[in-house]
Structure 1
Amino acid sequence: MDKIEEGCDIVVLQTLRLLEERMRRLEFVLDGDIKDEQQQQTQDPVVKRLQKLEESLHKLTSGSSVIADVVLVQSRHADLLNPPEPLEAPEAQPGLEAPHKLATVLAEAPLYPATASQLTSLNDIPIPPTESFASLIALHPRIAAVARRQNQHARQIAFLSKKSAQLVLKWQKIFIIGQGRCWVEWDNRLRKAAREVGRVEVRRGGEGEL
Protein backbone atom coordinates (compact mmCIF):
# COMPACT_ATOMS: atom_id res chain seq x y z
CA MET A 1 0.00 0.00 0.00
CA ASP A 2 2.89 2.36 0.79
CA LYS A 3 4.40 1.68 -2.62
CA ILE A 4 1.10 2.60 -4.30
CA GLU A 5 0.88 5.88 -2.36
CA GLU A 6 4.52 6.66 -3.11
CA GLY A 7 3.88 6.01 -6.82
CA CYS A 8 0.86 8.33 -6.77
CA ASP A 9 2.94 11.06 -5.11
CA ILE A 10 5.59 10.71 -7.80
CA VAL A 11 2.95 10.98 -10.53
CA VAL A 12 1.45 14.09 -8.88
CA LEU A 13 4.86 15.77 -8.58
CA GLN A 14 5.75 14.97 -12.18
CA THR A 15 2.40 16.30 -13.40
CA LEU A 16 2.87 19.46 -11.36
CA ARG A 17 6.39 19.89 -12.72
CA LEU A 18 5.09 19.55 -16.29
CA LEU A 19 2.38 22.13 -15.62
CA GLU A 20 4.96 24.55 -14.23
CA GLU A 21 7.18 23.98 -17.28
CA ARG A 22 4.29 24.71 -19.64
CA MET A 23 3.45 27.84 -17.69
CA ARG A 24 7.04 29.08 -17.99
CA ARG A 25 6.92 28.47 -21.76
CA LEU A 26 3.70 30.45 -22.05
CA GLU A 27 5.20 33.30 -20.06
CA PHE A 28 8.27 33.27 -22.31
CA VAL A 29 6.17 33.28 -25.49
CA LEU A 30 3.92 36.11 -24.32
CA ASP A 31 6.30 38.21 -22.20
CA GLY A 32 9.73 37.16 -23.46
CA ASP A 33 11.00 36.77 -19.89
CA ILE A 34 11.23 33.86 -17.45
CA LYS A 35 11.67 34.34 -13.74
CA ASP A 36 14.26 32.09 -12.20
CA GLU A 37 12.03 30.55 -9.54
CA GLN A 38 12.17 26.90 -10.60
CA GLN A 39 14.37 25.71 -7.74
CA GLN A 40 12.34 27.62 -5.15
CA GLN A 41 9.03 26.30 -6.53
CA THR A 42 10.17 22.68 -6.41
CA GLN A 43 10.89 23.11 -2.69
CA ASP A 44 7.48 24.65 -1.94
CA PRO A 45 4.53 22.52 -0.85
CA VAL A 46 2.18 21.18 -3.49
CA VAL A 47 -0.70 23.42 -2.41
CA LYS A 48 1.44 26.55 -2.64
CA ARG A 49 2.73 25.54 -6.04
CA LEU A 50 -0.82 25.02 -7.29
CA GLN A 51 -1.79 28.45 -5.95
CA LYS A 52 1.15 30.00 -7.81
CA LEU A 53 0.08 28.25 -10.99
CA GLU A 54 -3.44 29.63 -10.63
CA GLU A 55 -2.09 33.13 -9.96
CA SER A 56 0.21 32.95 -12.98
CA LEU A 57 -2.63 31.73 -15.18
CA HIS A 58 -4.92 34.50 -13.95
CA LYS A 59 -2.16 37.05 -14.59
CA LEU A 60 -1.64 35.79 -18.13
CA THR A 61 -5.37 35.77 -18.81
CA SER A 62 -5.86 39.31 -17.58
CA GLY A 63 -2.76 40.62 -19.35
CA SER A 64 -3.31 39.03 -22.77
CA SER A 65 -6.43 39.55 -24.83
CA VAL A 66 -5.63 36.48 -26.94
CA ILE A 67 -5.63 34.12 -23.95
CA ALA A 68 -8.75 35.78 -22.60
CA ASP A 69 -10.50 35.15 -25.92
CA VAL A 70 -9.32 31.51 -25.92
CA VAL A 71 -10.60 31.00 -22.38
CA LEU A 72 -13.91 32.62 -23.30
CA VAL A 73 -14.29 30.39 -26.36
CA GLN A 74 -13.42 27.32 -24.30
CA SER A 75 -15.99 28.24 -21.66
CA ARG A 76 -18.72 28.74 -24.26
CA HIS A 77 -17.76 25.96 -26.66
CA ALA A 78 -15.93 23.33 -24.69
CA ASP A 79 -16.34 20.73 -27.42
CA LEU A 80 -14.15 22.70 -29.87
CA LEU A 81 -10.90 22.15 -27.98
CA ASN A 82 -11.64 18.55 -26.99
CA PRO A 83 -10.37 15.87 -29.35
CA PRO A 84 -13.15 13.97 -31.11
CA GLU A 85 -13.88 10.46 -30.03
CA PRO A 86 -12.15 7.88 -32.20
CA LEU A 87 -14.38 6.23 -34.72
CA GLU A 88 -14.95 2.56 -34.47
CA ALA A 89 -12.71 0.65 -36.79
CA PRO A 90 -14.65 -1.08 -39.56
CA GLU A 91 -14.73 -4.77 -39.57
CA ALA A 92 -11.85 -6.30 -41.45
CA GLN A 93 -12.82 -7.44 -44.91
CA PRO A 94 -11.76 -10.87 -45.95
CA GLY A 95 -8.59 -10.76 -48.05
CA LEU A 96 -8.06 -12.15 -51.51
CA GLU A 97 -7.25 -15.75 -51.91
CA ALA A 98 -3.78 -16.82 -52.96
CA PRO A 99 -4.65 -17.49 -56.66
CA HIS A 100 -6.15 -14.02 -57.03
CA LYS A 101 -3.08 -12.40 -55.41
CA LEU A 102 -0.78 -14.36 -57.71
CA ALA A 103 -2.79 -13.33 -60.77
CA THR A 104 -2.61 -9.66 -59.73
CA VAL A 105 1.16 -9.82 -59.23
CA LEU A 106 1.70 -11.57 -62.56
CA ALA A 107 -0.48 -9.02 -64.38
CA GLU A 108 1.59 -6.12 -63.05
CA ALA A 109 4.97 -7.88 -63.33
CA PRO A 110 5.92 -6.42 -66.77
CA LEU A 111 5.69 -2.92 -65.36
CA TYR A 112 8.53 -3.44 -62.88
CA PRO A 113 11.33 -3.92 -65.47
CA ALA A 114 10.00 -1.00 -67.54
CA THR A 115 9.95 1.29 -64.52
CA ALA A 116 13.41 0.14 -63.48
CA SER A 117 14.81 0.83 -66.96
CA GLN A 118 13.25 4.30 -66.97
CA LEU A 119 14.78 5.09 -63.61
CA THR A 120 18.15 3.81 -64.83
CA SER A 121 17.91 5.97 -67.96
CA LEU A 122 17.49 9.02 -65.74
CA ASN A 123 20.97 8.39 -64.35
CA ASP A 124 22.37 8.32 -67.90
CA ILE A 125 21.04 11.78 -68.78
CA PRO A 126 23.98 14.19 -68.64
CA ILE A 127 23.72 17.29 -66.50
CA PRO A 128 23.92 20.48 -68.60
CA PRO A 129 27.22 22.35 -68.25
CA THR A 130 27.24 25.03 -65.61
CA GLU A 131 28.96 27.52 -67.91
CA SER A 132 25.71 28.23 -69.75
CA PHE A 133 23.88 28.92 -66.49
CA ALA A 134 26.73 31.14 -65.29
CA SER A 135 26.66 33.11 -68.54
CA LEU A 136 22.91 33.56 -68.23
CA ILE A 137 23.31 34.81 -64.67
CA ALA A 138 26.04 37.21 -65.83
CA LEU A 139 23.76 38.50 -68.59
CA HIS A 140 20.85 39.08 -66.21
CA PRO A 141 21.67 42.79 -65.53
CA ARG A 142 21.99 43.48 -69.26
CA ILE A 143 18.73 41.64 -69.97
CA ALA A 144 16.99 43.68 -67.25
CA ALA A 145 18.40 46.91 -68.73
CA VAL A 146 17.21 45.93 -72.22
CA ALA A 147 13.76 45.11 -70.81
CA ARG A 148 13.58 48.53 -69.13
CA ARG A 149 14.67 50.22 -72.36
CA GLN A 150 12.08 48.25 -74.30
CA ASN A 151 9.37 49.32 -71.88
CA GLN A 152 10.52 52.93 -72.23
CA HIS A 153 10.39 52.67 -76.02
CA ALA A 154 6.95 51.13 -75.83
CA ARG A 155 5.72 54.06 -73.71
CA GLN A 156 7.26 56.54 -76.17
CA ILE A 157 5.66 54.76 -79.13
CA ALA A 158 2.28 54.80 -77.39
CA PHE A 159 2.67 58.54 -76.68
CA LEU A 160 3.68 59.29 -80.30
CA SER A 161 0.81 57.17 -81.62
CA LYS A 162 -1.61 59.16 -79.50
CA LYS A 163 -0.15 62.48 -80.70
CA SER A 164 -0.26 61.28 -84.33
CA ALA A 165 -3.91 60.32 -83.98
CA GLN A 166 -4.70 63.74 -82.53
CA LEU A 167 -2.83 65.49 -85.39
CA VAL A 168 -4.61 63.42 -88.04
CA LEU A 169 -7.97 64.21 -86.45
CA LYS A 170 -7.08 67.92 -86.34
CA TRP A 171 -5.94 67.84 -89.98
CA GLN A 172 -9.18 66.20 -91.02
CA LYS A 173 -11.24 68.81 -89.19
CA ILE A 174 -9.29 71.76 -90.65
CA PHE A 175 -8.41 70.70 -94.21
CA ILE A 176 -11.13 68.24 -95.14
CA ILE A 177 -14.22 69.16 -93.14
CA GLY A 178 -13.31 72.87 -93.17
CA GLN A 179 -12.66 72.94 -96.91
CA GLY A 180 -15.86 71.03 -97.52
CA ARG A 181 -17.78 73.65 -95.60
CA CYS A 182 -16.04 76.39 -97.60
CA TRP A 183 -16.97 74.71 -100.88
CA VAL A 184 -20.58 74.40 -99.76
CA GLU A 185 -20.67 78.06 -98.77
CA TRP A 186 -19.07 79.15 -102.07
CA ASP A 187 -21.47 76.99 -104.03
CA ASN A 188 -24.43 78.60 -102.27
CA ARG A 189 -23.06 82.04 -103.01
CA LEU A 190 -22.52 81.20 -106.70
CA ARG A 191 -26.04 79.86 -106.98
CA LYS A 192 -27.44 83.04 -105.41
CA ALA A 193 -25.30 85.21 -107.73
CA ALA A 194 -26.42 83.19 -110.76
CA ARG A 195 -30.05 83.66 -109.78
CA GLU A 196 -29.53 87.42 -109.35
CA VAL A 197 -27.80 87.67 -112.74
CA GLY A 198 -30.66 85.76 -114.33
CA ARG A 199 -33.21 88.09 -112.79
CA VAL A 200 -31.33 91.17 -113.98
CA GLU A 201 -31.07 89.82 -117.53
CA VAL A 202 -34.78 89.01 -117.52
CA ARG A 203 -35.63 92.56 -116.43
CA ARG A 204 -33.32 94.10 -119.04
CA GLY A 205 -34.82 91.94 -121.75
CA GLY A 206 -38.31 93.07 -120.78
CA GLU A 207 -37.33 96.75 -120.84
CA GLY A 208 -35.74 96.36 -124.32
CA GLU A 209 -38.98 95.00 -125.77
CA LEU A 210 -40.91 97.97 -124.48
Structure 2
Amino acid sequence: MDTMESTLDNTTLSTISLLEARLLRIEHLLYGHTVQQPKVSAIRSIQELEHRFGSLLQRMRVYAELLKLYKSQPTLFQPPPPSQPPSELSPEALRAIVLASASSYPATASALTAISDTPIPDPAHTAALAALLPKMKGIEATQIAQAAEIAELRARSEVVVRQWYEHNVMNYSNFVASVESRVENAERVVRRVERAKNEV
Protein backbone atom coordinates (compact mmCIF):
# COMPACT_ATOMS: atom_id res chain seq x y z
CA MET A 1 0.00 0.00 0.00
CA ASP A 2 2.81 2.37 0.91
CA THR A 3 4.55 1.55 -2.36
CA MET A 4 1.40 2.36 -4.35
CA GLU A 5 0.94 5.68 -2.53
CA SER A 6 4.60 6.56 -3.10
CA THR A 7 4.27 5.78 -6.82
CA LEU A 8 1.10 7.89 -7.02
CA ASP A 9 2.83 10.79 -5.26
CA ASN A 10 5.81 10.58 -7.60
CA THR A 11 3.52 10.52 -10.63
CA THR A 12 1.59 13.53 -9.32
CA LEU A 13 4.75 15.51 -8.65
CA SER A 14 6.16 14.61 -12.05
CA THR A 15 2.94 15.71 -13.76
CA ILE A 16 2.96 19.00 -11.86
CA SER A 17 6.60 19.58 -12.79
CA LEU A 18 5.83 18.99 -16.46
CA LEU A 19 2.84 21.34 -16.34
CA GLU A 20 4.92 23.99 -14.62
CA ALA A 21 7.72 23.62 -17.17
CA ARG A 22 5.25 24.08 -20.04
CA LEU A 23 3.72 27.11 -18.36
CA LEU A 24 7.18 28.60 -17.81
CA ARG A 25 8.00 28.14 -21.49
CA ILE A 26 4.75 29.87 -22.51
CA GLU A 27 5.42 32.75 -20.12
CA HIS A 28 8.97 33.05 -21.42
CA LEU A 29 7.72 33.23 -25.02
CA LEU A 30 5.12 35.85 -24.14
CA TYR A 31 6.94 38.03 -21.61
CA GLY A 32 10.61 37.22 -22.19
CA HIS A 33 11.28 36.25 -18.57
CA THR A 34 10.08 33.72 -16.04
CA VAL A 35 10.23 33.46 -12.29
CA GLN A 36 11.02 30.05 -10.84
CA GLN A 37 8.56 29.32 -8.06
CA PRO A 38 9.81 27.85 -4.75
CA LYS A 39 9.10 24.23 -3.95
CA VAL A 40 5.74 23.83 -2.18
CA SER A 41 3.22 21.07 -1.64
CA ALA A 42 1.43 19.39 -4.54
CA ILE A 43 -1.94 20.98 -3.75
CA ARG A 44 -0.37 24.42 -3.42
CA SER A 45 1.51 23.91 -6.69
CA ILE A 46 -1.68 22.97 -8.51
CA GLN A 47 -3.46 26.02 -7.12
CA GLU A 48 -0.63 28.33 -8.17
CA LEU A 49 -0.51 26.77 -11.64
CA GLU A 50 -4.26 27.21 -12.04
CA HIS A 51 -3.99 30.83 -10.91
CA ARG A 52 -1.14 31.61 -13.29
CA PHE A 53 -2.89 29.82 -16.15
CA GLY A 54 -6.08 31.77 -15.45
CA SER A 55 -4.13 35.04 -15.47
CA LEU A 56 -2.57 34.04 -18.76
CA LEU A 57 -5.98 33.35 -20.29
CA GLN A 58 -7.28 36.73 -19.08
CA ARG A 59 -4.35 38.59 -20.62
CA MET A 60 -4.35 36.67 -23.89
CA ARG A 61 -7.90 36.35 -25.18
CA VAL A 62 -6.72 34.24 -28.10
CA TYR A 63 -5.70 31.42 -25.78
CA ALA A 64 -9.01 31.65 -23.95
CA GLU A 65 -10.88 31.32 -27.25
CA LEU A 66 -8.69 28.38 -28.25
CA LEU A 67 -9.39 26.69 -24.93
CA LYS A 68 -13.14 27.17 -25.42
CA LEU A 69 -12.87 25.73 -28.91
CA TYR A 70 -10.89 22.77 -27.59
CA LYS A 71 -13.51 22.06 -24.93
CA SER A 72 -16.37 22.28 -27.42
CA GLN A 73 -14.66 20.53 -30.37
CA PRO A 74 -11.79 18.38 -29.06
CA THR A 75 -11.64 16.33 -32.26
CA LEU A 76 -10.33 19.36 -34.18
CA PHE A 77 -7.04 19.11 -32.26
CA GLN A 78 -6.66 15.35 -32.69
CA PRO A 79 -5.63 14.25 -36.19
CA PRO A 80 -7.28 11.06 -37.42
CA PRO A 81 -5.14 7.93 -37.80
CA PRO A 82 -3.44 7.50 -41.20
CA SER A 83 -5.62 4.49 -42.01
CA GLN A 84 -8.79 6.56 -41.69
CA PRO A 85 -9.67 8.71 -44.75
CA PRO A 86 -10.56 12.38 -44.21
CA SER A 87 -14.19 12.70 -43.21
CA GLU A 88 -14.67 15.97 -45.12
CA LEU A 89 -13.95 14.29 -48.48
CA SER A 90 -16.54 12.32 -50.36
CA PRO A 91 -15.79 8.82 -51.72
CA GLU A 92 -15.71 10.28 -55.24
CA ALA A 93 -13.07 12.83 -54.23
CA LEU A 94 -10.97 10.14 -52.53
CA ARG A 95 -11.27 7.94 -55.62
CA ALA A 96 -10.15 10.83 -57.85
CA ILE A 97 -7.10 11.48 -55.65
CA VAL A 98 -6.09 7.80 -55.71
CA LEU A 99 -6.59 7.47 -59.47
CA ALA A 100 -4.63 10.67 -60.14
CA SER A 101 -1.64 9.23 -58.29
CA ALA A 102 -2.01 5.67 -59.56
CA SER A 103 0.57 6.12 -62.32
CA SER A 104 3.27 7.02 -59.79
CA TYR A 105 2.88 3.83 -57.75
CA PRO A 106 4.73 1.50 -60.19
CA ALA A 107 7.53 4.04 -60.65
CA THR A 108 7.90 4.43 -56.89
CA ALA A 109 7.90 0.66 -56.39
CA SER A 110 10.51 0.26 -59.14
CA ALA A 111 12.71 2.95 -57.58
CA LEU A 112 12.47 1.31 -54.16
CA THR A 113 13.33 -2.07 -55.70
CA ALA A 114 16.32 -0.55 -57.48
CA ILE A 115 17.53 0.95 -54.21
CA SER A 116 17.20 -2.37 -52.42
CA ASP A 117 19.04 -4.13 -55.28
CA THR A 118 21.93 -1.66 -55.28
CA PRO A 119 25.00 -3.40 -53.88
CA ILE A 120 26.77 -1.85 -50.95
CA PRO A 121 30.32 -0.72 -51.87
CA ASP A 122 33.20 -2.69 -50.48
CA PRO A 123 34.35 -1.07 -47.21
CA ALA A 124 37.96 -1.66 -48.27
CA HIS A 125 37.49 0.63 -51.29
CA THR A 126 35.92 3.31 -49.11
CA ALA A 127 38.80 3.04 -46.65
CA ALA A 128 41.30 3.30 -49.52
CA LEU A 129 39.60 6.46 -50.79
CA ALA A 130 39.61 7.92 -47.29
CA ALA A 131 43.34 7.16 -47.00
CA LEU A 132 43.94 9.04 -50.27
CA LEU A 133 42.20 12.16 -48.97
CA PRO A 134 45.37 13.82 -47.53
CA LYS A 135 47.22 13.16 -50.78
CA MET A 136 44.34 14.60 -52.79
CA LYS A 137 44.36 17.72 -50.62
CA GLY A 138 48.11 18.07 -51.25
CA ILE A 139 47.54 17.76 -55.01
CA GLU A 140 44.79 20.37 -54.80
CA ALA A 141 47.13 22.76 -52.96
CA THR A 142 49.80 22.18 -55.62
CA GLN A 143 47.30 22.91 -58.39
CA ILE A 144 46.24 26.12 -56.67
CA ALA A 145 49.89 27.22 -56.37
CA GLN A 146 50.52 26.36 -60.04
CA ALA A 147 47.43 28.30 -61.10
CA ALA A 148 48.68 31.34 -59.17
CA GLU A 149 52.13 31.02 -60.77
CA ILE A 150 50.60 30.70 -64.25
CA ALA A 151 48.49 33.80 -63.63
CA GLU A 152 51.60 35.72 -62.57
CA LEU A 153 53.54 34.55 -65.66
CA ARG A 154 50.62 35.53 -67.89
CA ALA A 155 50.56 39.02 -66.39
CA ARG A 156 54.33 39.40 -66.82
CA SER A 157 54.08 38.16 -70.43
CA GLU A 158 51.40 40.74 -71.16
CA VAL A 159 53.67 43.48 -69.80
CA VAL A 160 56.61 42.28 -71.94
CA VAL A 161 54.49 42.08 -75.11
CA ARG A 162 53.06 45.54 -74.48
CA GLN A 163 56.52 47.02 -73.98
CA TRP A 164 57.85 45.31 -77.13
CA TYR A 165 54.91 46.60 -79.15
CA GLU A 166 55.23 50.14 -77.84
CA HIS A 167 59.04 50.38 -78.24
CA ASN A 168 59.62 48.33 -81.40
CA VAL A 169 56.49 48.14 -83.51
CA MET A 170 55.38 51.69 -82.85
CA ASN A 171 58.91 53.09 -83.40
CA TYR A 172 59.23 51.15 -86.65
CA SER A 173 55.83 52.43 -87.78
CA ASN A 174 56.89 55.99 -87.02
CA PHE A 175 60.16 55.44 -88.94
CA VAL A 176 58.30 54.07 -91.99
CA ALA A 177 55.86 56.97 -91.89
CA SER A 178 58.77 59.44 -91.74
CA VAL A 179 60.54 57.78 -94.71
CA GLU A 180 57.34 57.79 -96.76
CA SER A 181 56.87 61.48 -95.99
CA ARG A 182 60.43 62.23 -97.14
CA VAL A 183 59.98 60.21 -100.33
CA GLU A 184 56.76 62.07 -101.13
CA ASN A 185 58.52 65.41 -100.58
CA ALA A 186 61.41 64.33 -102.83
CA GLU A 187 58.98 63.23 -105.55
CA ARG A 188 57.22 66.58 -105.43
CA VAL A 189 60.57 68.39 -105.78
CA VAL A 190 61.59 66.19 -108.74
CA ARG A 191 58.27 66.80 -110.51
CA ARG A 192 58.62 70.54 -109.93
CA VAL A 193 62.14 70.55 -111.43
CA GLU A 194 61.03 68.50 -114.44
CA ARG A 195 58.09 70.82 -115.01
CA ALA A 196 60.41 73.83 -114.90
CA LYS A 197 62.76 72.24 -117.48
CA ASN A 198 59.89 71.50 -119.82
CA GLU A 199 58.68 75.07 -119.64
CA VAL A 200 62.14 76.39 -120.61
When the two structures are superposed, what TM-score results if normalisation uses the length of structure 1?
0.46
User: Which of the pair has more CA radius of gyration?
Assistant: 1
Q: Normalized against structure 2, the TM-score is what?
A: 0.48
